[in-house]
Amino acid sequence: MLGPPGVGKGTQAQQLSKEFGIPQISTGDILRDAIQKKTVLGEKANTFMSRGELVPDKVMLGIIQETLFSEHAPEGYILDGFPRTVAQAMGLQKLFEEHNDTLSAVLSLEADENQIVRRLSSRRTCQNCNALYNLLTMPPKIEGKCDVCSGELYQRNDDRIETIRNRLRVYKQQTEPLIGFYKSLGVLKSINASGLPEEVQKNIIGQLED
């Protein structure tokens, strides 16, 4: 899943994971979990994430190498938030070659920047199961509680307006070049992600079946 912060990668990846019965691997969730557990990785990642900057490529490739090939996922998996730089994408290609694996599709989600800022500033996430909500478009049934597991909902530290702006700048500089990279490999699928979540999901499944 490729796309700017807040475009709906996590929302769509969670749905696709249910639809296809394959795991979602979110590098953002892995890092936030490490921060919560106060591990060495978490402390290191926190300094970058709180500023809206990317965690160094070497650290991220290490995490992916550990996670991807220790997961038992014979039917495949959905990568959400990785790769995010050309160096990460090249590292991933190398890992695929070493493990005889392939990348079947890269879903590039697109939406207008004002819509993205609105989505992010009203996002809430479950502390326990990472389910996603939005106070404007997808509110929980009970205020502050997750519909799925009754866990507490929280607002992410990097969803403050000045950090959102920096994340969008970082996306343009460091991640957007991946669109050309994956286009040249013939695996890129552009998805209009400005509609309702169900419409975006339909659009994705249609493109995957093409």
Q: Would you please indicate which residues are annotated as catalytic (active-site) residues?
A: 9, 84, 123, 156, 167
Interacting span for ligand AP5 (CB under 6 A) from 1-9, 16-24, 145-153, 176-184: 1-9
Angle at 39 between CA 151 and CA 94, to 5 degrees: 100
According to the binding rule CB under 6 A, does residue 137 interact with ligand AP5?
A: yes
- The full length of the chain comes to 210
Q: Which residue's CB is nearer to ligand AP5, number 76 or number 197?
A: 197
According to the binding rule CB under 6 A, does residue 11 interact with ligand AP5?
A: yes
CB atoms within 10 A of CB 49: 21
Contacts of 2 (CB under 8 A, 6+ apart): 9, 106, 107, 108, 109, 175, 178, 179, 182
The interface with ligand AP5 within residues 112-131 (CB under 6 A) comprises 119-120, 123
Cα–Cα separations (whole angstroms), residue 125 to 9, 32, 103, 129, 181: 14, 11, 29, 8, 31
Q: How far is the CB of 207 from ligand AP5 (least distance, A)?
A: 16
Q: How far is the CB of 206 from ligand AP5 (least distance, A)?
A: 15
Nearest to 168 by CA among 9, 52, 40: 52
According to the binding rule CB under 6 A, does residue 54 interact with ligand AP5?
A: yes
Residues forming the site for ligand AP5 (CB under 6 A) = 3, 5-11, 27-28, 31, 48-49, 52-55, 60, 81-84, 88, 119-120, 123, 132-134, 137-138, 158, 167, 196-197, 200
